[in-house]
Amino acid sequence: MAKAKENAPRHVNIQNRRAGYEYSFLVKYTAGMVLVGTEIKSLRVGNANITEGYCTFQHNGTLWLHGVTIAQYTEGTYNNHEPTRPRQLLLTKKEMRQLHAKSQEQGLTIIPTRMFISERGFAKVEIALARGKKLYDKREDLKAKDQKREMDRLR
């Protein structure tokens, strides 16, 4: 009989809730991340913060994630990583070209919306091409949310 994995990765789902309030998402992509050993260990424990994160393209066409904090691993030694260092994101060439072309438009930005561990144990980040909401858009969203809550309450 096959024994269940004892060291199976725990379900990690770190979300950027503020992003849905501040931005309207146009397109979402799932990207891999280039991490060092202590970063993935810390991420599997759930020690990450993506609320201040954003993505930029370098001159050589690679996509980098900035402003994301992955806390230092508690069991790490002098080899521990820097918590806020930029991390390279991995997408297909086609996705990279599409995202780069769209991100050049005025008012669009690339932000991380969710960070998780895939079924195969790889660290992934869901990024979105987003446009910032105006104040009246935010009010409309809150109004619609309140109305939906009232309708659900009446049922």
Token pair belonging to 128: 């979105």
Global confidence as pTM: 0.77
> pLDDT class for 3, splitting at 50, 70, 90?
very low
Query: If DSSP codes are grouped into helix, strand and coil, which group holds residue 49?
Result: strand
Distance between CA atoms of 47 and 69, rounded to whole angstroms? 8
> pLDDT class for 91, splitting at 50, 70, 90?
very high
Q: 63: closest CA among 36, 102, 24, 26?
A: 102
Q: ∠69-86-107 over CA atoms, to 5°?
A: 95
Instruction: Work out the average pLDDT over 78-101.
Output: 88
The answer to whether the beta carbons of residues 39 and 70 sit under 8 Å apart is yes
Q: Is the pLDDT of residue 45 over 60?
A: yes
Instruction: Work out the average pLDDT over 87-96.
Output: 92
Per-residue pLDDT reduced to its tens digit, 111-130 = 999 999 988 888 999 999 99
Phi, psi of 12 (to 5 degrees): -115, 125
The answer to whether the beta carbons of residues 9 and 124 sit under 8 Å apart is no
Token pair belonging to 50: 């993506």
Per-residue pLDDT reduced to its tens digit, 8-34 = 446 778 888 888 888 888 999 999 999
